[in-house]
Structure 1
Amino acid sequence: MGIYLNSSTAYTLYKNETKKPYFVDKTLILEQLFPLVDEGTNYICITRPRRFGKTVMANMIASFFSKAQDAADVFDCLKISQDADYQIYRNKYNVIHISFNDISRQCTSYEQYIARIEERLIKDLQKEFPDAKLAQEQSAVDALTDIYTDDCSIRFIFVLDEWDFIFHQPFITENEKMAYLSFLRSLLKDRPYVLLVYMTGILPIAKYSSGSELNMFTEFTMAKSPAFSDYFGFTQAEVDDLYLRYQNTCKDMRVTRTGLQQWYNGYHTASGEQVYNPRSIVQALRFNELSNYWTSSGPYDEIYFYIENNIRAVRDDLTLMVSGMAVPAKISEYTATSTDLKTKEEIFSAMVVYGFLSYQNGTVSIPNKELMDKFSDMLKQEPSLGYVYRLANESDRMLQATIAGDTETMEKILDLAHDTETPLLTYHHETELTAIVNLVYLSARDNYRIEREEKAGIGYVDFIFYPETDKNADCIILELKVDNTPDAAIQQIKDKKYAMRFQGKIGEMSKYSGRILAVGISYNRTNKKHKCKVEVL
């Protein structure tokens, strides 16, 4: 057994994964790989945001095909064991499994990085094929070619995880990125010893030259490729099953199924299916708490990195998205490889690739509360966002003024929006007013669950604020009007019986004991003034 060639590492890691209480069996992806192995010389690259199960899948594939160790004890009880060809493919192949994110702390240059990989692979090949009389100074390509030349029945399945890891390291230059692509091309392209290459990463394969060094790969991205969609991220049915396990084992449940939906859902495959962030789902159920698990490894600065070169181009769209809206966008996933993002297309494309935004039907949106919290943090901490920053930082005062019925302060805060000439504030539609109102109540999300356009009574209310941290806090129903009066908004709340959402629904009455506030906010496009009214129902 070697480090890369026929290693037992993948078997050990995947076996441990299957023992975890919230393991999800996705082994049926192997059924789609069997024909590719039969055909030979196939190349697929599957890209997904981080923490979407790429490494678990790579370990599973390597442990299934590799002849390093009989994995019957792992796979006999999984879905793939029901396939008629299960025994034919299991543990029958030479597998070269390389995790490109396995980097020593001493590595400070590309030369060290790539030399370490080649040296380790050569050692593995020398040990496995002593009769080939391979020299340590040989390249990996030459060594593999010599082995195949001696015996053309010896071919390899390559499982390459985190292929783009090196692109994120501070020591690599643009020329070295090209050298790395050339290394992969030389190792893999048109080589008779290649049976199958299964490669994963975050970035789609970068097309740095007209020749497209890695154009032998068929790429499968989340936004544009329906194939393999079910195997990365958790589907609705899978989360339902995991939640049932949680209910059967947790004695003091603090996580609701609705909470999982709000916090971690919101991504879409190219086929339109909704998927959840798998790491966050597992962590929430395991630790019995809804929290920022996926984004906890990177602060809001990570989001800001993508927009800092052209804040003005995306500022208004960010405001709309923080309001829960989707905005039109042209996504070109290859632009995510750029380190100098300037156009709105480049910025949003990168944010989709890295999982900060969700893409569906030509629009981008913030997928869930876990990401929404990070975007909200950014809006409140970056002065370069201009009016967005100013309004977001008034949100604490806005909530307190609303609870106190201080409509004068509410109106002054809303009128701050007109310190700028941004087109968002022309208020041609209630959409823009909705975005600004959402912004000035940004801090309310710390203590409230805010729902938009929710069915309440006999109509759909603009905003309902459900107390989350303090069930004795005031409940808020908020209605917006353009070129009308706040009194008309309050009257609509009464006429359509929106308060029934708190008063009359079974199960809701016992949850909330605070006052129910009806809040009307209007905007007059002629005099460019806001008017507010607060009434206790």
Structure 2
Amino acid sequence: MARTVGIGTQSFETVREKNTFYVDKTSFIKEWWENQDDVTLITRPRRFGKTLNMDMIKCFFSNKYEGRRDLFEGLDIWEDEKYRELQGTYPVIFLSFAGIKGNTFEVTQQQICIKISDIYEENRYLLDGDILSENEKKFYESVSMDMSDAVCSMALNKMCIFMHKYYGKKAIILLDEYDTPMQEAYVNGYWEELVAFTRSLFNSTFKTKPYLERAIMTGITSVSKESIFSDLNNLVVVTSTSKQYETAFGFTEEEVFNALDEQGLSDKKEEVKMWYDGFTFGDKKDIYNPWSIINFLKFKSLKTYWADSSSNGLINNLVQKGSSYIKTMLETLISGKTINVRIDEQIVFSELQYSEDAVWSLMLASGYLKVISSEELNLTRESENEYELGLTNREILFMFRKMILRWFSSAKMETNGFVRALIGGDIESMNEYMNDVALKTFSSFDSGKHISEKKAPERFYHGFVLGLMVDQTENYIINSNRESGYGRYDIMLEPVDKENIKYPGIVIEFKVINPRKENSLEETVEAALQQIKEKDYDAELIKRGVDKENIHHYGFAFKGKEVLIDGD
């Protein structure tokens, strides 16, 4: 009988007690325990079962779940007698930073203090009797939502000591979504303040201590050790390219296909694979994101469940305001091709606006890109490799298409009007619409930080080409040829139906005015049209079956937000 599929349940205890759909990941407990690492940081994309796995570990080891064999009977871990003896035998400290999303450092700091003070409230029995000294009890009482930085930084370390005194065993610490505050700090501009605060907290908590048995942290990104882990020499970092815990998070293809069989959806395997397969961890390929699979099992409809479960705000901001290089690389990815870039999996958030490669590192860690192949460039730095990357799957492709179309939502009517005029050869309307589009959306592509007069318009117009790519896929195959210089950007729109004269072949040359060569936009647009002729761009379209009489040429000349279009 098919199990009921529940959405969003992150409590292992609830899943097991209600016997709802669950993919057995308890072998992760054994793998982690036998690796004997003091502190482990595991990064995986969002909604990949990190919280449920951490809750599973809590239920397995915590002495508050002593005797709860019913939660694990029938699962992989319970087949080993040695691990049956371990269940419910350790004090466990569990906390999650998933909900810590303050707009200011002060709010975030207090949210962290509240999380820690909640742990102290849950364990107030430790104050009973004479197990703790008077000074220790005084410290215990000083832990509150308004505690000082000094008290907060020591609070988890002290809790390990208190639990050791009470139970006679070292404590296990589980910290879920450790990097959520980091991403919020970057977006909201208080990165440096939070780094200093977090570094003090983490070093005090996780540095080799006599009262800490082991610890696990999970998150999406591996924040650079220099930022917050500078004093931790006992930290093992497991990223998406590491060969540890390859199948512990996410669903393998076998697990997905078994689930489809159970739910009577065996005939949907190929469609599900096309939409949701593609993640790779270590050497293990064909990993599926659990959120989309679980939603598909419940609603039996192919949709962008995982991609739509978050605003993707940080990625959107970095791409939209990023350089022309970033936009043209994304263009390559959307067209189904791959890119070759250097990846450092230790994310330095403060460098994201200045390091183009850091953007691809973040996209890889977040699950939007997958590794096709890699080549080690520097044997002295394991993290510095060149990777061939592609979009993960169809769901991610659709996510980026939606994201790009939203860039022009404020000028949707003008954009649609421009495209109609472009196809219909109405140059007067093209000028009117394009100037309106630029006026309404230009600033959203400009980060406003040291962007030159040349670079700022390029970022908009490269973004506009991406918009054309995703909005005209049914009618056109869009090819581009990029060169450096004064904003040169050629695109060719090859009609899908070569016989339909309503969709002409289109050649466009983009040029930003060069004051040293041209005195006006009229001269710039004429130079653009002349370049189309000199380069004989028609030859490529004709070779692909487009009638020479049905090819339109357009020159686009730009000066800031001002646009002039002409054609022949």
Same fold flag (TM > 0.5): yes
Amino acid at match of 2:195: K
Q: 1:217–1:106: structure 2 CA closer, same or farther, 3 Å change rule?
A: same
- 1:42-73 residue CA offsets vs partner (Å, 9 max, x unmatched): 11111111011100100100000011023211
* Cα distance in 1 between the residues matched to 2:11 and 2:284: 32
2:142 to 137, 141, 146: 137
Q: Which residue does 2:289 correspond to in 1?
A: 277
Q: Secondary structure at the residue paired with 2:92? A: strand
Structure 2 residue 179 is matched with structure 1 residue 164 = yes
Amino acid at match of 1:137: S
Structure 2 residue 499 is matched with structure 1 residue 405 = yes
The Cα RMSD (Å) is 3.5
* Cα distance in 1 between the residues matched to 2:313 and 2:207: 38
- 1:391-442 residue CA offsets vs partner (Å, 9 max, x unmatched): 5444455499755932473312xx23x4469xxxxxxxxxxxxxxxxxxxxx
Q: Secondary structure at the residue paired with 1:330? A: strand
Q: Secondary structure at the residue paired with 2:347? A: helix
Over the matched positions of the two proteins, sequence identity in percent amounts to 23
The answer to whether the 8 A contact 1:270-1:360 is kept is: no
Amino acid at match of 1:287: F
CA drift of 1:376 comes to 1.6
The answer to whether the 8 A contact 1:15-1:74 is kept is: yes
Q: 1:401–1:144: structure 2 CA closer, same or farther, 3 Å change rule?
A: closer
Point out the more displaced range, 397-406 or 295-304.
Answer: 397-406
Structure 2 residue 259 is matched with structure 1 residue 242 = yes
CA drift of 1:209 comes to 4.8
Q: Which residue does 1:498 correspond to in 2?
A: none
Q: Secondary structure at the residue paired with 1:329? A: strand
Structure 2 residue 112 is matched with structure 1 residue 114 = yes
Q: Which residue does 2:168 correspond to in 1?
A: 153
Q: 1:359–1:74: structure 2 CA closer, same or farther, 3 Å change rule?
A: same
Q: Which residue does 1:28 correspond to in 2?
A: 27
Q: Which residue does 1:208 correspond to in 2?
A: 226
1:101 to 98, 103, 114: 98
CA drift of 1:363 comes to 1.2
Structure 2 residue 331 is matched with structure 1 residue 337 = no
* Cα distance in 1 between the residues matched to 2:277 and 2:297: 14
* Cα distance in 1 between the residues matched to 2:474 and 2:316: 22
* Cα distance in 2 between the residues matched to 1:106 and 1:323: 37
- 1:52-109 residue CA offsets vs partner (Å, 9 max, x unmatched): 1100100100000011023211101111111131222111111111112245999962
1:73 to 70, 73, 89: 70
The answer to whether the 8 A contact 1:125-1:143 is kept is: no
* Cα distance in 1 between the residues matched to 2:469 and 2:96: 45
CA drift of 1:294 comes to 0.8
Point out the more displaced range, 131-140 or 256-265.
Answer: 131-140
CA drift of 1:296 comes to 1.3
Q: Secondary structure at the residue paired with 2:64? A: coil
CA drift of 1:311 comes to 3.0
Q: 1:157–1:311: structure 2 CA closer, same or farther, 3 Å change rule?
A: same
Q: Secondary structure at the residue paired with 2:328? A: helix
1:373 to 367, 380, 398: 398
The answer to whether the 8 A contact 1:162-1:200 is kept is: yes
Amino acid at match of 1:243: L
Q: Secondary structure at the residue paired with 2:226? A: coil
Q: Secondary structure at the residue paired with 1:409? A: coil
The answer to whether the 8 A contact 2:278-2:286 is kept is: yes
CA drift of 1:245 comes to 0.8
Q: Secondary structure at the residue paired with 2:237? A: strand
* Cα distance in 1 between the residues matched to 2:282 and 2:78: 29
* Cα distance in 2 between the residues matched to 1:195 and 1:96: 11
Q: Which residue does 1:56 correspond to in 2?
A: 52
Specify every segment of 5 or more residues in structure 1 that has no aligned partner in the other structure, as ranges. 1-10, 422-480, 490-519, 530-537
Q: 1:318–1:278: structure 2 CA closer, same or farther, 3 Å change rule?
A: same
2:333 to 321, 338, 344: 321
The answer to whether the 8 A contact 1:48-1:201 is kept is: yes
* Cα distance in 2 between the residues matched to 1:378 and 1:115: 36
The answer to whether the 8 A contact 1:54-1:232 is kept is: yes
1:268 to 277, 280, 285: 280
Amino acid at match of 2:192: E
* Cα distance in 1 between the residues matched to 2:78 and 2:209: 31
Q: Secondary structure at the residue paired with 1:359? A: strand
1:194 to 212, 229, 238: 212
* Cα distance in 1 between the residues matched to 2:358 and 2:55: 32
Q: Secondary structure at the residue paired with 2:263? A: helix
Q: Secondary structure at the residue paired with 2:343? A: coil
1:357 to 359, 369, 391: 369
Q: 1:303–1:144: structure 2 CA closer, same or farther, 3 Å change rule?
A: closer
CA drift of 1:152 comes to 8.9
Specify every segment of 5 or more residues in structure 2 that has no aligned partner in the other structure, as ranges. 1-8, 144-150, 374-386, 409-459, 478-493, 513-537, 554-568
* Cα distance in 1 between the residues matched to 2:504 and 2:234: 60
Structure 2 residue 460 is matched with structure 1 residue 389 = no
Q: Which residue does 2:198 correspond to in 1?
A: 180
Q: 1:303–1:209: structure 2 CA closer, same or farther, 3 Å change rule?
A: closer
* Cα distance in 1 between the residues matched to 2:194 and 2:313: 27
Q: Secondary structure at the residue paired with 1:187? A: helix
Aligned residue pairs, count? 414
Point out the more displaced range, 264-273 or 195-204.
Answer: 264-273
Q: Secondary structure at the residue paired with 1:228? A: coil
The answer to whether the 8 A contact 2:160-2:171 is kept is: no
* Cα distance in 2 between the residues matched to 1:344 and 1:21: 44
CA drift of 1:269 comes to 1.4
* Cα distance in 2 between the residues matched to 1:403 and 1:65: 63
Q: 1:194–1:211: structure 2 CA closer, same or farther, 3 Å change rule?
A: closer
Structure-to-structure mapping, 1:382-531, within 5 angstroms: 382=407, 384=460, 385-395=463-473, 398=476, 402=496, 405-407=499-501, 409-412=503-506, 415-416=507-508, 418-419=509-510, 520=545
Amino acid at match of 1:17: V
